[in-house]
Chain A
Amino acid sequence: MKNIGIRDDTVRPGRSSGGRRRNAVFYFDLSEALPYTERMAKMLREVTGTVGALAKGFAVTFKTMFRPAVTENYPAEPVHFEGRYRGLHVLRRDENGLEKCVACFLCAAACPANCIYIEAAENTSDHRISAAERYAKVYNIDYNRCIFCGYCVEACPCDAITHGHGFEIASYDMNGLVYRKEQLLEKPPAAAAKP
């Protein structure tokens, strides 16, 4: 009874006819020393099982025909992003509209592609860009090199650099792919923009 179902290619010492190669799934074993009725029952079980499995499969695919499509109609309609999508970076501002980035260089250090370039400068009382001592005078991300791994976002102690959902950055010009701070920075809030 142990050879019901799919058999393998191995040579099995048979009881009646010595070693024989068996390798087919569609092989009804008629040489076993089983009574005739049992052999027929086995064969029938196999056939009905197959038919049942086929019917089940066809039912599944028929049902899926009526499921709504998951296709995003992208150029015609906006894409739906998951919240954690890693797109173009956005440099954030705090609640006062000041830049969060304090030019600590941790993101540049964490970057495996070495695509972040920062120049730091001191904040003064009449030229205050960030809340801390220093701010990033220059903050470039070279999107020729960026691999969107998200390590910079993880490394940032101030939650200044984050991933946005932008992705349409294809360009005919490599120079255009070096994004400057002005392009990455979040828009100033309306209240803070006035003074």
Chain B
Amino acid sequence: MAQFAEAHFFLIESVVKIIVVLFVLLTAVAYVVWLERKVVARIQSRWGPYWVGPHGLLQPLADGLKFLFKEDIVVQDADKVIYWMAPFLAFTLAFLSIAVIPFGGSFQLFGHTIQLQITDLNVGLLYVFAVTSLGVYSIALAGWSANSKYPLFGGLRSSAQMISYELSLGLGVVGVLMISGTLSLRGVVTPQVGFWHIAGIPFLPRWNVFRQPLGFLVYFIAAIAETNRIPFDLPEGETELVGGFHTEYSSFKFAMFFIAEYANMVTVSCLATLLFFGGWLGPLFGPYWLRVILPVIWFCLKVFCFLFFYIWMRGTLPRFRYDQLMAFGWKVLLPLGFLNVLGTSFVIAWLHS
């Protein structure tokens, strides 16, 4: 009987968590789009969305409605099955990785410990990398199946780019994994608790970014390339490829690519926060309920900073040329990643001897 109740509780807990996380993520994605339009507008001395709701706050809703009611055009010579599959693939894979992202500590409810995470996989990081690498397929297939030249270019570019930068992405986090000795995203945060002290005064939180600055740099640059954002948005490249892999997509299928891109942005920002910036760690005070909520707030704030930086970068940097992109990925980022792994392992070996 007790076992039965336990199973029930687990089921309900999981479903509630999934619903809440999905809802928050979808809303966040919608408002990252709004934020992006606003911030880029500010950089260009414009106002951005303004008319739909106060300060254009209902703009994402209007955009969503517009996408829903647009005509769904399918190219005549498209490979129909793959053409339909690609956006769904992109959408699904973008949302799968959020399952292992912890966004807070844990709390007690009805005698149960509830972790603020859908599931604490012990290979969480591997899982995220696996799922996000599958995302290449959606873009490559979208580019291929439309049977049109610009999408094909976009698809080819993206497969080359994402495969190249995935190596650096992996190498960037290896240093962190060596320090924490776990692939669980919850376990990665644990060694970052506390402060470094100088003469008894805490001056720096023990975040991995201070131990692995090079690793962070490599990870973050590779992550931007992985999410196809400016300055690495060659698969889309409006000015040269008319939108790249999603040129021939319209209506809600296009919206799915769009949402997937921003969901990926949120995912890599979450990952950067967890791996390098102490995840949900931050000052705690007040009563019990506040101590449960505050970590979530710290986590969201850190992720927000990353998202803001993404947008800021979009407003600042021009796009890479293709050969520059490849040369940078293979000749600079990858050696730097190796160097970081090598250096970290030497330091760890030296500390342990």
Among the stretches A19-27, A113-121, A157-165, A166-174, the one at the interface with B is: A19-27
Contact bitstring A128-155, B, C-beta under 8 A = 1, else 0: 0000000000000000000000000000
Contact bitstring B310-335, A, C-beta under 8 A = 1, else 0: 00110111000001100110011000
Among the stretches A31-39, A64-72, A100-108, the one at the interface with B is: A64-72
Asked if B46 contacts A62 (CB within 8 A), the reply is no
Instruction: Tell me whether A67 and B315 are in contact in the complex, defined as CB-CB below 8 angstroms, given that A24-B331, A26-B331, A27-B327 are known contacts.
Output: no
- Chain B residue at minimal CB-CB distance from A65: B42
Q: Which of A12-54 contact B (CB under 8 A)?
A: 23-28, 54
Instruction: Tell me whether A70 and B46 are in contact in the complex, defined as CB-CB below 8 angstroms, given that A26-B331, A58-B312, A61-B316 are known contacts.
Output: yes
Instruction: Tell me whether A25 and B327 are in contact in the complex, defined as CB-CB below 8 angstroms, given that A69-B47, A70-B46 are known contacts.
Output: yes
The contact of B43 among A25, A65, A70, A71, by CB within 8 Å, is A65
Residues of B within 8 Å of A26, CB to CB, are 324, 327-328, 331-332
Q: Does A176 contact B (CB under 8 A)?
A: no
Q: Is the interface of B mostly helix, strand, loop or mixed?
A: helix
Asked if B324 contacts A25 (CB within 8 A), the reply is yes
Residues of B within 8 Å of A57, CB to CB, are 316-317
A26 and B324 alpha carbons, distance in the complex (Å):
7
What's the interface size class on A, roughly? 20 to 34
A64 and B46 alpha carbons, distance in the complex (Å):
10
Asked if A58 contacts B332 (CB within 8 A), the reply is no
A65 and B41 alpha carbons, distance in the complex (Å):
8
Residues of A within 8 Å of B317, CB to CB, are 54, 57
Shortest Cβ gap from A132 to chain B (Å): 50
Asked if B327 contacts A68 (CB within 8 A), the reply is no
A58 and B332 alpha carbons, distance in the complex (Å):
22
Instruction: Tell me whether A58 and B323 are in contact in the complex, defined as CB-CB below 8 angstroms, given that A69-B46, A69-B47 are known contacts.
Output: no
Instruction: Tell me whether A71 and B46 are in contact in the complex, defined as CB-CB below 8 angstroms, given that A24-B331, A57-B317 are known contacts.
Output: yes
Contact bitstring A50-90, B, C-beta under 8 A = 1, else 0: 00001001101110111111110100000000000000000
Residues of B within 8 Å of A60, CB to CB, are 316
Q: Considering only CB atoms and an 8 Å cut-off, how many residues of chain B contact the other chain? A: 20
Q: Which of B85-142 contact A (CB under 8 A)?
A: none
Residues of B within 8 Å of A71, CB to CB, are 45-47
Q: Which of B294-353 contact A (CB under 8 A)?
A: 312-313, 315-317, 323-324, 327-328, 331-332
Instruction: Tell me whether A69 and B331 are in contact in the complex, defined as CB-CB below 8 angstroms, given that A25-B324, A61-B315 are known contacts.
Output: no
A79 and B202 alpha carbons, distance in the complex (Å):
56
Asked if B324 contacts A70 (CB within 8 A), the reply is no
The contact of A62 among B45, B312, B331, by CB within 8 Å, is B312
Asked if A64 contacts B42 (CB within 8 A), the reply is yes
Instruction: Tell me whether A24 and B45 are in contact in the complex, defined as CB-CB below 8 angstroms, given that A58-B312, A61-B312, A65-B39 are known contacts.
Output: no
A61 and B47 alpha carbons, distance in the complex (Å):
15
Residues of A within 8 Å of B323, CB to CB, are 23-24
A27 and B313 alpha carbons, distance in the complex (Å):
24
Shortest Cβ gap from A58 to chain B (Å): 5
Most buried by B among A24, A54, A66, A73: A24
Shortest Cβ gap from A2 to chain B (Å): 21
Most buried by B among A23, A58, A65: A65
Residues of A within 8 Å of B39, CB to CB, are 65
Residues of A within 8 Å of B316, CB to CB, are 57-58, 60-61
Shortest Cβ gap from B309 to chain A (Å): 9
Residues of B within 8 Å of A62, CB to CB, are 312
- Chain B residue at minimal CB-CB distance from A70: B45
Asked if B331 contacts A64 (CB within 8 A), the reply is no
Residues of A within 8 Å of B312, CB to CB, are 58, 61-62
Shortest Cβ gap from A76 to chain B (Å): 9
Asked if B45 contacts A69 (CB within 8 A), the reply is yes
A69 and B43 alpha carbons, distance in the complex (Å):
9
Interface residue ranges, B against A (CB under 8 Å):
39, 41-47, 50, 312-313, 315-317, 323-324, 327-328, 331-332
5 A/B residue pairs, CB under 8 Å, sorted by A? A57-B316, A57-B317, A58-B316, A68-B45, A69-B41
> Nearest 8 A-B pairs (CB), nearest first?
A24-B327, A61-B316, A65-B42, A26-B327, A71-B47, A61-B43, A26-B328, A70-B45
Extra contacts besides A60-B316, A64-B45 (11): CB < 8 Å:
A23-B323, A24-B327, A24-B331, A26-B324, A26-B331, A28-B331, A61-B315, A61-B316, A64-B43, A65-B43, A71-B46
